[in-house]
Amino acid sequence: MAKSTNTRPAPVRRPRVSRTTGERPAPSAATMVEMETGAIDHAEIAGRAYELFLADGSCHGRDVDHWLRAERELLQSRLTSAA
């Protein structure tokens, strides 16, 4: 079996810049909270999303809804505790 000879370097990621104004977009509310209070822990979001999954009757196919709701709840709680 032949080995892969793909030696392409990884692409360089550049920050997004508006083509019309040349400016970067304003940070989102989530980014602002992370800057002020620290990053949200992935495990914390996963745990809350699982609690929502169980509370929803273990209904499969709504994982993104549960994840986003958990993230929103945790962000909201951090905003109220930081104030």
Give the range among 10-14, 29-33, 53-57 with minimum mean pLDDT.
Answer: 29-33
3: left (phi over 0), alpha (psi -120 to 50) or beta: beta
| Token duo for residue 11 | 């692409």
CA distances from 69 to 2, 51, 53, 54, 72 (A): 47, 11, 11, 14, 5
Q: Which of 65, 68, 21 has the alpha carbon at shortest distance from 45?
A: 68
Q: How many CA atoms lie within 13 A of 74 on its CB side?
A: 23
- Per-residue confidence band for 13, with pLDDT thresholds at 50, 70 and 90: low
pTM of the model: 0.54
Question: Rounded to an integer, what distance in angstroms lies between the CA atom of residue 28 and that of residue 53?
Answer: 26
